[in-house]
Amino acid sequence: MKLLLLGLAAIAAASKPLPTAVIDSGAIVGTTTTLPSSTAVVNKYLGVPFGKRPVRFSPPEPAERWSTTYNATKWGPACFQEVSQAVQLLFNLLDMPPQLGGEDEDCLNLNVFTPANASAGSKAVLFWLYGGSYRNGGAAVPQYDGSSFAANQDVVVVTINYRTNAFGFPADKNIPLKERNLGYEKPDSSYQRNRADQKFDNSLLDQRLALDWVNRNIAALGGDPSKVTIMGESAGATSVDALVVTPPEPVPFRAAIMESGQTSIKTPVDTTRKQYNQSWQKLLDRTNCTSGDTIKCLREVPARELKRIATNETLVFGPIPDDYTMAKHPRQRRLNSTHDESSIARVPVLIGSNGDEAITTIIGQNDTRKFLQPYFGNLTDALLAKYPLGSPGGSYRARKIISYCDGISNTMLYANESAIAGIPTWRYLFNASFPNNEKGYGAYHTSEIPFVFGTYPQQNKTHFEEEVSKSMQKAWADFAKDPYKGPGWAPEPAIGIFGDGVKAGMSVEGKKPLKSVNSKKIDFRCPLYSPVYT
């Protein structure tokens, strides 16, 4: 009898209709999932086009209508990646999962994870932008699966693709002005006047088009378009900051979360327009597209050949501030904004970093002074003096100095100036590592992501590890549901610390998955770094 009941249950589950919805492009059918840790059922709509197949090096255009039901049950392709040998070695070292769905230029698709019981237009929405130094990244990465988030926190999660590397940032003045028209968003006159000599940031326009799609369609999938929180990590957080400081009109979001990144506080080693132009020239040289209509020539080169050249040459591309998709002086814009007059989106902000941000960048570095000099110049000796050499050695010292600069100190400055401008601002620090994900690198850059999404390894997980993830998910979701109430601790100058410094093999007795402390306990070295930032 027991076997019969189980069999009937399996048949019933198999016969349950798949979730469907109607968006402005037509009908879509998705799939469902139930997590072992939750009884909630999540509907997943995967690989949904938000844009047409883009013309190479041109801005995105909205997806066309389809006449039959679109199959949204499998991941769509990622945009073409630039993953150098060094970056691939790092991915292997950290067991970074591969992209699902392959690669293609027809990559402007997104994924929606929504509670199955969500009524139309009812849930807060989290809109995710991945990192990858604007060279790689995609939404179809297992770490970014929003099922756990949606099931445990009763929110809608959207993850999107956007073009990166040369495909997303064509640094060529020969792109005709007529091809720079946005189509879906009217540019202001100052941008129209000044854009003829600007590099075109198609990557950031992809993000804006996806955000526009969310505002038009998310109600049909259970989300409330008036309750959108944009969130991202690393380059994704930089993109979030760009949206905050140079927002579309009307502003299509009400809060912002930035994990390990922002665009407002700069350091001397930030990539420059000159480097982008040099990379573009190398691409032209390697493809013999140096004369005549260079854009037409490059459009005829196979996409995989462009990828091969960019990867082998380690070419660098990224956004150029144009005061349309990215501000030229974001820090000043924020400080000058007021409740009565503002060119930025004065939305609540949650910003933070990890305890060991820089560890993966200093692997194999033995000469601490030589490594630090490009960052800090004449400040190098003063910083080294504050971090006496001892066990475990010089590379550890460099790791702490760079992590403090690229994590704690610039985040402190951002949060402080945001609060001074009267913007509700909260700050966090992720500082934990565990036996099943510890590679000897502590709370390294990106290590918080699986805790936020609930996609950390389940094998050999610890109870404390599970509690850290639950705490992070709840904080992010609480912030999205009521941004002005915040994530669960006091605003700046308080800091919410996740993980309490726990490391593999350390006792968790007396440790808390989340605690709040005054920023002075974390920021005491920040004045040392203030001359670095511009």
Q: Which residues are catalytic?
A: 234, 341, 445
**In total, how many domains does the chain have?**
2
Task: Assess whether 387 and 525 both reside in one domain.
Answer: yes
The answer to whether residue 294 sits within a structural domain is no
Q: Kindly indicate the confidence band of residue 525, based on its pLDDT and cuts at 50, 70 and 90.
A: confident
At 242-296, the pLDDT tens digits run 999 999 999 999 999 999 999 998 766 566 778 888 999 999 999 999 988 899 9
Q: Which of 249, 266, 283 is the last residue of a domain?
A: 266
Task: Assess whether 217 and 122 both reside in one domain.
Answer: yes
Task: Assess whether 257 and 368 both reside in one domain.
Answer: no
Task: Assess whether 110 and 214 both reside in one domain.
Answer: yes
Task: Assess whether 65 and 164 both reside in one domain.
Answer: yes
Task: Assess whether 30 and 124 both reside in one domain.
Answer: yes
Choice among 6-15, 55-64, 476-485 with the minimum mean pLDDT: 6-15
At 380-432, the pLDDT tens digits run 888 888 877 654 555 677 777 877 777 888 999 999 999 999 999 999 999 99
CATH of the domain at 59: 3.40.50.1820
The answer to whether residue 229 sits within a structural domain is yes
Choice among 14-23, 119-128, 201-210 with the minimum mean pLDDT: 14-23
The answer to whether residue 427 sits within a structural domain is yes
Q: Does residue 86 carry a pLDDT above 50?
A: yes
Q: What is the pTM of this model?
A: 0.91
Task: Assess whether 12 and 147 both reside in one domain.
Answer: yes
The answer to whether residue 343 sits within a structural domain is no
The answer to whether residue 5 sits within a structural domain is yes
Phi, psi dihedrals of residue 353, rounded to the nearest 5°: -150, 180
The answer to whether residue 318 sits within a structural domain is no
The answer to whether residue 38 sits within a structural domain is yes
Task: Assess whether 246 and 381 both reside in one domain.
Answer: no
From residue 409, how far is each of 80, 260, 352, 353, 401 by CA, in Å?
34, 12, 10, 10, 10
Task: Assess whether 364 and 233 both reside in one domain.
Answer: no
Residue 146: the pLDDT is 97
CB 433 within 8 A of CB 359: no
Q: Which of 266, 281, 306 is the last residue of a domain?
A: 266
The answer to whether residue 105 sits within a structural domain is yes
- HSE-up of 407 (CA within 13 Å, CB side)? 22
| Three-point CA angle 410, 411, 415, nearest 5° | 120
Task: Assess whether 256 and 383 both reside in one domain.
Answer: no
Across the chain, what does the average pLDDT equal? Answer: 86
Print the domain residue range for 408. Answer: 348-534
Q: Kindly indicate the confidence band of residue 176, based on its pLDDT and cuts at 50, 70 and 90.
A: low
Task: Assess whether 384 and 244 both reside in one domain.
Answer: no
Report the share of the chain in percent with pLDDT over 90.
Answer: 59
Residue 5: the pLDDT is 37
Q: Which of 266, 283, 300 is the last residue of a domain?
A: 266
| Three-point CA angle 530, 233, 454, nearest 5° | 130
Task: Assess whether 234 and 139 both reside in one domain.
Answer: yes
Q: Does residue 90 carry a pLDDT above 80?
A: no
